[in-house]
Amino acid sequence: MVKGNNVIPRYGNKKDWQRYIVTWFDQPGRKVRRRQARNRKAAQVFPRPVSGLLRPMAHGQTRRYNMKIKSGRGFTKEELKEAGVAPAIARTIGIAVDHRRKNRSLELLQQNAARLKEYMAKLVLFPRRQSKPRKGDSAPEVTATADQLKGDLMKIRTHAPEEMKAVETTTITAEQKAFNAYQKLRTERMNVRQVGARKKRAEDEAREAEEKAKAAK
């Protein structure tokens, strides 16, 4: 409440609210322009894929995101070497290269190398000059039937469909119900912490027993 016997403020009635109304009546027109721009881009990059260069699988940064698989900036030289692709040639055939990335995981290196090999197996390479095809160029009958890829280029999935298995169910036994997992964890944690003290106590007891045996003789 306002302190004192003052006029009640009514700021809302004095606002020119019509000045602050925002409308988006141009949405249908923008949708058309976006589609036309995509078509122009597809025609400009033909016969290359519309989505751009092939990107590797990479882990996110920091402990919060490093368990997730995402699209990286480019392949490393080690991954290209594993797949048998030269870095200078990779950029010319639609493969992104990043000289700053480092391979911290052998598993991810092998996955990206397999990704490159799969891409190279599906690649249709058009010759620069039809009269003088170079080594590695696709045959004329293959290039004649080739079509431009307009979707995602080898979309990255965290789990491949063939790797996802059905959940197995089982019946909980009486022994499992009686098992106290919390107490077991506490006991094992204590056993780890008491390794040094118990070892010292056992050595002291063994030394005392040896001294008693010598004194008895």
Higher pLDDT, 50 or 217: 50
Encode burial over 12-49: b for 16+ CB neighbours within 10 A, e otherwise: eeeeeeeeeeeeeeeeeeeeeeeeeeeeeebeeeeebb
Higher pLDDT, 193 or 11: 193
Higher pLDDT, 161 or 52: 52
Residue that the structure tokens 């010598």 belong to: 214
**pLDDT recorded at residue 12:** 65
pLDDT interval class at 134 (50, 70, 90): confident
pTM, whole model, 2 decimals? 0.60
Mean pLDDT over residues 100-120, rounded?
93
DSSP track, the chain: --SSS-PPP-GGGGS-GGGG----TTHHHHHHHHHHHHHHHHHHHTTS-TT-SB--EEEPSHHHHTTSEEE-S-B-HHHHHHHT--HHHHGGGTB-B-SS-----HHHHHHHHHHHHHHHHH-----SSTTSPPTTPPPHHHHHH-----S-SS---SS-GGG--PPP--PPPHHHHH--HHHHHHHHHHHHHTHHHHHHHHHHHHHHHHHHHHHH-
**pLDDT recorded at residue 67:** 85
> How is residue 207 written in tokens?
């030394």
pLDDT interval class at 60 (50, 70, 90): confident
Contacts of 97 (CB under 8 A, 6+ apart): 74, 75, 77, 80, 87, 90, 91
180-206 pLDDT per residue, tens: 999 999 999 999 999 999 999 999 999
Mean pLDDT over residues 29-38, rounded?
96
How far is it, in rounded angstroms, from Cα 95 to Cα 116? 8
Which burial class, exposed, middle or buried, applies to 54 when counting CB atoms under 10 A from its CB (0-12, 13-18, 19+)? buried
Q: Is the predicted pLDDT of residue 84 greater than 80, yes or no?
A: yes
Question: Cis before residue 47, ω within 30 degrees of 0?
Answer: yes
